């Protein structure tokens, strides 16, 4: 019920003549995840109804499934019953990752080198393996996971494992695709200098993890920078800056960049060491939410130090493309960005 409301969707009137603009970006899964998290990451929230979420977020149910599936993969939410999920919070992530890491190691989820000469470990397609996450609690191997072998849920976890179980902090889309799905489909030409890759990030800024002081074992750090300044949205008519409720910081932010030239990695565990890439900087693509780097509303459109990803491109040779993974990962990336942003935000305001 309460399917679509035909409002608060991607359509919106920004012109006097009543013309409506449709923006895919504003309807992206990543953004949706962000909203979802903002909506439920509050006090008093313990259960989440799918219908409730759908109506609150103004999207159809199908989309909520995607969000929830991914969040569940890292422990942020847990399925309680039909139409019902429980909020576990960001604090559940470290534990979930620990489990994933162990499983991954056990399953040889190591990916060695995503650089030139596509070696990338022989695809260890152990999909048949019932790698249940045993979310810490009732590990009473429930048969309920019949369908979850190839789901977004599993795919997400495997993707995470790739990072947790390797010594690299960056993995190309191709490598991931090959490792997770097993290659075979390298679609269109990769002639261009497009080279999507993913990198782990840590909890944005958790210099001091208050309460629970155990989430510094292996904080993942992830980020993407791809082809170009990804979702840069100040090209044509960036319209206004939203015309509604609270805040939506990310709309004005063109892009971020970060220097990784120093070896100073605050929360760096044994499993993450510098990989081959030693470029001096990274381009942080999409609209990273504010507070990610102490940046507020800076809509500074300085796109100067973008040059760095040129070196990256040279480091990581272009390979093939996998449409399927491409899309999926794209979602993951945005979703994760949102999550980390959320975490960072909370951690910071301590």
Select the span of 110-118, 132-140, 229-237, 253-261 touching DNA (CB under 7 A).
229-237
Q: Quick one: 12 or 101, whose CB is closer to DNA?
A: 12
Q: Is the dihedral of CA 33, 38, 43, 47 positive or negative?
A: negative
CB atoms within 10 A of CB 237: 10
Six-digit token string for 169: 């902090």
Contact residues for 102 (Cβ-Cβ < 8 A; gap 6+):
none
Instruction: Indicate the SS3 state at residue 222.
Output: strand
Task: List the beta bridge partners of residue 240.
Answer: none
Among 18, 19, 44, 62, binds DNA (CB under 7 A): 62
What is d(CA 319, CA 196) in angstroms, rounded to the nearest whole number?
A: 10
Pick from 160, 153, 114, 181: which is nearest to 316 by CA? Answer: 114
3-state SS of 173-204 is HHHHHHHHHCCCCCCCCCCCCCCCEEEECCCC
Site for DNA in 143-172 (CB under 7 A): 144, 146-148, 150-153
* Distance of alpha carbon 269 from alpha carbon 220, whole angstroms: 10
Only one of the segments 220-228, 276-284, 298-306, 309-317 lies at the binding site for DNA (rule: CB under 7 A); that segment is 220-228
Of positions 8, 41, 52, 60, contacts DNA by CB under 7 A: 60
Q: Which residue, 190 or 271, has its beta carbon nearer to DNA?
A: 190
Q: Tell me the closest approach of the beta carbon of residue 170 to DNA, in angstroms.
A: 16
Nearer to DNA, 22 or 214 (CB): 22
Residues numbered 186-205 forming contacts with DNA, rule: CB under 7 A = 187-190, 192, 194, 196
CB 20 to DNA: min, Å? 11
Task: Give the footprint of DNA on residues 94-153 (CB under 7 A).
Answer: 144, 146-148, 150-153
Binding-site ranges for DNA (CB under 7 A): 4, 9-10, 22-25, 27-30, 50, 59-63, 65, 68-69, 82-83, 144, 146-148, 150-153, 187-190, 192, 194, 196, 226-228, 230-233, 235, 321, 323, 326-327, 330-331, 334
């Amino acid at each position: 019920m309460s399917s679509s409301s035909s409002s608060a969707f991607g359509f919106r009137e920004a012109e006097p003549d009543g013309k409506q603009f449709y923006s895919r970006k504003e309807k992206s899964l990543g953004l949706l995840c962000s909203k979802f998290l903002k909506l439920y990451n509050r006090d008093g929230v313990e259960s989440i109804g799918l219908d409730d979420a759908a109506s609150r977020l103004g999207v159809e149910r199908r989309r909520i499934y995607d969000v929830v599936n991914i969040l569940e993969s890292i422990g942020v939410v847990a399925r309680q019953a039909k139409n019902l999920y429980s909020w576990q919070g960001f604090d559940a992530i470290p534990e979930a990752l620990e489990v994933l890491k162990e499983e991954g190691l056990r399953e040889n989820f190591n990916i060695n080198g995503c650089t030139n000469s596509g070696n990338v470990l022989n695809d260890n397609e152990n999909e048949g393996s019932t790698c249940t996450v045993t979310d810490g609690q009732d590990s009473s191997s429930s048969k309920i996971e019949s369908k979850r072998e190839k789901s977004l849920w599993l795919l997400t976890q495997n993707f995470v494992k790739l990072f947790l179980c390797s010594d690299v902090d960056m993995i190309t889309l191709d490598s991931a695709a090959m490792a997770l799905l097993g290659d075979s489909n390298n679609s269109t030409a990769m002639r261009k200098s497009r080279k999507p890759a993913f990198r782990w990030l840590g909890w944005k800024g958790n210099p001091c993890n208050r309460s629970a002081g155990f989430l510094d074992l292996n904080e993942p750090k992830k980020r993407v920078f791809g082809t170009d300044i990804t979702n840069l949205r100040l090209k044509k008519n960036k319209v206004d800056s939203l015309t509604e409720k609270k805040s939506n910081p990310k709309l004005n932010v063109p892009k971020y960049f970060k220097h990784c030239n120093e070896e100073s990695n605050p929360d760096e565990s044994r499993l993450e060491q510098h990989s081959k890439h030693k470029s001096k900087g990274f381009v942080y693509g999409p609209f990273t939410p504010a507070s990610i780097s102490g940046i507020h509303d800076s809509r500074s459109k300085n796109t100067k130090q973008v040059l760095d990803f040129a070196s990256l491109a040279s480091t990581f040779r272009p390979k093939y493309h996998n449409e399927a993974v491409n899309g999926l990962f794209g979602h993951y990336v945005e979703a994760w960005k949102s999550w980390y942003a959320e975490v960072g935000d909370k951690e910071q305001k301590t």
